[in-house]
């Protein structure tokens, strides 16, 4: 039998010391494909093992197979943070093991979810006609929004997004048998609203903070087109949405209050451990009409609207607890401070690249993402990135636009300091010189 208290203390100590030393570990895992699996038994044990054995294997076998998303030197994709209050709340969530299938199966789960999303709505400056619920990911959120949009206009078989929108739109279109229409962008990578034809579309996805270069679609103009055509507007602000808590960035979100639905991922840039994706809508009735299905065995005498009636899954985790913990333990000012610091660090890095002969910044900098490349061929840049990442000192990722291979540095970890960003620049220049 395991001893919950002493094993728990060991596990907490493990996490605390991991977070202390994570900056020293190679950011990108260095193992070969299949190595982790090969190092572990092929079948489950017949007899019980102590929890300590799990921790031992975590150290010796699994840690080398981790890419350290908690590292302050993680600059790839969109860097994230599982902040400590959120980590602790995950422990509580598992301990409580709530299954929110109906309001009555966990009134606290449902009401805290509604309350925290209302707190966050106020923080990001959305009007109070928006109500929200938590999905696992933005992918599920986009899919759910498009399902609702389609249910309102079943004859419209087109989904519209920009050529730089995230592939979640394409996936939703494929799953729902819709045609995907990609709208060309301007020289700042923004969807060109005059080219949005929405009359036959069930939904248009506009993005605030595209994945490649964090560009911002002209949401007010796209909203006009959607209003004219009677088409659902979903705003995908999965990454950048958290930055709407900063008053000085609010202008980037102009028009999003006209959306029918909006997705924001606190698990990307707000310190909440994976997974926690917010889906707000000003059309909750439409969500309920599309998703409510209450079989006899789930009927209850209360008249609460269960969150399972406005989303795809029946059972839901108590995800609101970690969002609540992060919002409380950082407060608005603490979160603002961190986001501002990330933007400052990105701006600093951008300046270094700009000032260095042989390097160029390749897209306007939005939020905390810098796109850049070194003079030379795509192959040279690809090789450079491989060498940088193989070093284990930092981890960056790439994208492609303007028909060229582009390097990206995204600041998003609450643990990242100026020294870490400086190191990234030093490693890039060192490896470029060695090519
Ligand atoms: N939308 C945008 C703009 C993104 O950048 C991403 C991921 O980076 C997604 C959607 C997908 O997010 P998720 O992993 O939560 O599905």
- pLDDT for 100-109, tens place per residue? 999 999 999 9
Among the listed ranges 1-5, 27-31, 335-339, which one has the minimum average pLDDT value? 1-5
CATH code of the domain covering residue 249? 3.40.640.10
pLDDT above 50: residue 16:
yes
CB burial of residue 203 (10 Å; 0-12, 13-18, 19+): buried
Question: Could you tell me if residue 101 is inside a domain?
Answer: yes
- Is 372 a domain residue? no
Task: Using the atom order of ligand 1, give the atom closest to the CA of residue 140.
Answer: 16
**Ligand 1 centroid to 263 CA: how many Å?**
9
Instruction: For residues 63 and 54, give the distance between their C-alpha atoms in angstroms, rounded to a whole number.
Output: 12
The 10s digit of each residue's pLDDT in 157-166 is: 999 999 999 9
| 21 and 50 together in one domain | yes
Q: How far is the CA of 67 from the centre of ligand 1 (A)?
A: 19
265 CB under 6 A from ligand 1?
Answer: yes
Give 283-329 pLDDT, tens digit per residue.
999 999 999 999 999 999 988 889 999 999 999 999 999 999 999 99
pLDDT of residue 305: 87
Q: Is 274 in the pocket of ligand 1 (CB under 6 A)?
A: no
26 and 165 co-located in one domain = no
Residue where one domain finishes, among candidates 293, 327, 361: 327
DSSP string, 32-95: PTTHHHHTS-SS--SS---HHHHHHHIIIIIGGG---TT-TTB-SSS-----HHHHHHHHHHHH
d(CA 331, CA 346): 23
Q: Is 211 in the pocket of ligand 1 (CB under 6 A)?
A: yes
Distance (angstroms) between ligand 1 centre and the Cα of 140 equals: 10
- Ligand 1 lined by 208 (C-beta under 6 Å): no
Q: Which residues does residue 135 pair with via DSSP β-bridges, in sequence order?
A: 277
Q: Is residue 338 one of the residues assigned to a domain?
A: no
Q: E strands, 111-260, where?
A: 131-135, 158-162, 179-183, 201-207, 232-236
Q: Report the CATH number at residue 35.
A: 1.20.1340.10
Number of domains in the chain: 2
Residue 177 predicted with pLDDT over 70:
yes
Average pLDDT, the chain: 97
Specify if 365 maps to a domain: no
Q: Is the CB of 105 under 6 A from ligand 1?
A: no
Task: Find the 78 Cα to ligand 1 centroid distance in Å.
Answer: 9
State whether the beta carbon of 259 lies less than 6 angstroms from ligand 1: no
Q: Is the CB of 277 under 6 A from ligand 1?
A: yes
Residue among 145, 234, 238, 261 whose CB has most ligand 1 atoms within 8 A, to mutate: 238
Q: Which residues contact 338 (CB under 8 A, 6 or more apart)?
A: 271, 330, 414
CA 32 to chain CA centroid, Å, is: 27
pLDDT, tens digit, 9 for 90 and up, residues 57-95: 999 999 999 999 999 999 999 999 999 999 999 999 999
Q: Do 38 and 114 reside in the same domain of the chain?
A: no
Closest CA relative to residue 318, chosen from 106, 118, 121: 106
- Is the CB of 138 inside a 6 Å radius of any atom of ligand 1? yes
pLDDT at 208: 98
Peptide bond into 345 cis (omega under 30): no
* Sequence-ordered list of residues with C-beta below 8 angstroms from that of 224, at least 6 positions apart, any chain: 193
Asked whether residue 356 is assigned to any structural domain, the reply reads no
Q: Quote the ligand 1 centre to 212 CA distance (angstroms).
A: 11
The confidence score (pLDDT) of residue 303 equals 85
Q: Is the CB of 106 under 6 A from ligand 1?
A: no
Q: How far is the CA of 139 from the centre of ligand 1 (A)?
A: 7
Closest atom of ligand 1 relative to the 207 alpha carbon: 3
What pTM value is reported for the model? 0.96
- Cα of 277 from ligand 1 centre, angstroms: 9
195 and 249 belong to one structural domain: yes
Same domain, 52 and 105: no
Q: Compute φ and ψ for 169, nearest 5 degrees.
A: -65, -45
Ligand 1 centroid vs 351 CA: distance in angstroms? 27
Same domain, 104 and 60: no
Q: Over 80: is that where the pLDDT of 188 sits? A: yes
269-295 pLDDT per residue, tens: 999 999 999 999 999 999 999 999 999
- 137 Cα: distance to centroid of ligand 1 (angstroms): 7
Specify whether 49 is located in the same domain as 111. Answer: no
Residue 332 lies in a domain: no
Please check whether residues 137 and 197 belong to one and the same domain.
yes
Ligand 1 atom at shortest distance from the alpha carbon of 142: 10
The reply to whether 155 and 33 lie within a common domain is no
- Does 228 share its domain with 297? yes
3 state DSSP class of 290: helix
pLDDT (average), residues 401-406: 96
pLDDT recorded at residue 2: 56
User: Is pLDDT at 1 greater than 60 in this prediction?
Assistant: no
The β-bridge partners of 161 are 182, 205
What is the DSSP secondary-structure string of 318-344? -THHHHHHHHHHHHHHHHHHHHHHHHH
* Ligand 1 atom closest to the CA of 77, numbered from 1: 8
Residue-number span of the structural domain to which 212 is assigned = 88-327
- Among 367, 366, 370, 364, which residue's Cα sits nearest to residue 349? 370
230-256 tens-digit pLDDT: 999 999 999 999 999 999 999 999 999
Average of pLDDT values for 31-51?
97
57 in the same domain as 92: no
- Asked if residue 49 and residue 94 are part of one domain, the reply reads no
Q: Ligand 1 mean position to 367 CA, how many Å?
A: 15
């Amino acid at each position: 039998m395991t001893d919950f208290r002493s094993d728990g203390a060991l596990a907490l100590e493990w996490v605390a010391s991991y977070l202390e030393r994570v900056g020293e570990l190679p950011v990108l895992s260095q193992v070969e494909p299949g190595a982790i699996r090969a190092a572990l038994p092929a079948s489950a044990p017949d007899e019980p093992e102590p929890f300590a054995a799990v921790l031992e294997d975590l150290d010796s076998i699994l840690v080398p197979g981790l890419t350290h998303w908690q590292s302050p030197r993680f600059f790839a994709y969109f860097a994230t943070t599982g902040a400590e209050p959120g980590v602790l709340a995950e422990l509580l969530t598992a301990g409580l093991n709530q299954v929110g299938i109906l309001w009555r199966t966990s009134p606290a789960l449902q009401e805290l979810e509604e309350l925290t999303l209302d707190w966050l709505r106020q923080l990001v400056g959305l009007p109070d006609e928006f109500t929200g619920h938590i999905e696992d990911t933005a992918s599920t959120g986009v899919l759910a929004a498009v399902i609702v949009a389609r249910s309102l206009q079943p004859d419209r078989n087109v989904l519209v997004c920009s050529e730089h929108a995230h592939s979640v739109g394409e996936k939703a279109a494929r799953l729902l048998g819709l045609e995907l229409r990609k709208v060309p962008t301007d020289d700042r990578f923004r969807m060109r609203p005059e080219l949005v034809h929405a009359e036959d579309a069930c939904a248009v996805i506009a993005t605030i903070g595209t994945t490649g270069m964090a560009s911002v679609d002209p949401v007010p103009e796209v909203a006009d087109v959607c209003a004219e055509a009677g088409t659902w507007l979903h705003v995908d602000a999965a990454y950048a949405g958290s930055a709407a808590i900063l008053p000085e960035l609010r202008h980037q979100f102009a028009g999003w209050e006209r959306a029918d639905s909006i997705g924001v991922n606190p698990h990307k840039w707000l310190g909440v451990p994976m997974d926690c994706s917010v889906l707000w809508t000003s059309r909750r009735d439409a969500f309920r009409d599309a998703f409510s299905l209450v079989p006899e065995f789930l009927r209850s005498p209360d008249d609460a609207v269960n969150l399972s009636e406005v989303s795809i899954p029946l059972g839901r985790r108590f995800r609101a607890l970690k969002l609540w913990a992060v919002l409380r333990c950082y407060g608005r000012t603490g979160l603002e401070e961190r986001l501002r610091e990330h933007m400052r660090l990105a701006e600093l890095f951008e300046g270094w690249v700009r000032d260095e002969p042989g390097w160029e910044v390749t897209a306007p900098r939005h939020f905390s993402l810098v796109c850049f490349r070194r003079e030379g061929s795509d192959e040279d840049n690809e090789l450079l990135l491989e060498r940088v990442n193989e070093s284990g000192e930092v981890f960056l990722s790439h994208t492609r636009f303007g028909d060229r291979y582009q390097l990206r540095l995204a600041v998003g970890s609450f643990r990242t300091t100026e020294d870490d960003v400086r190191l990234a620049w030093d490693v890039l220049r060192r490896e470029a010189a060695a090519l």
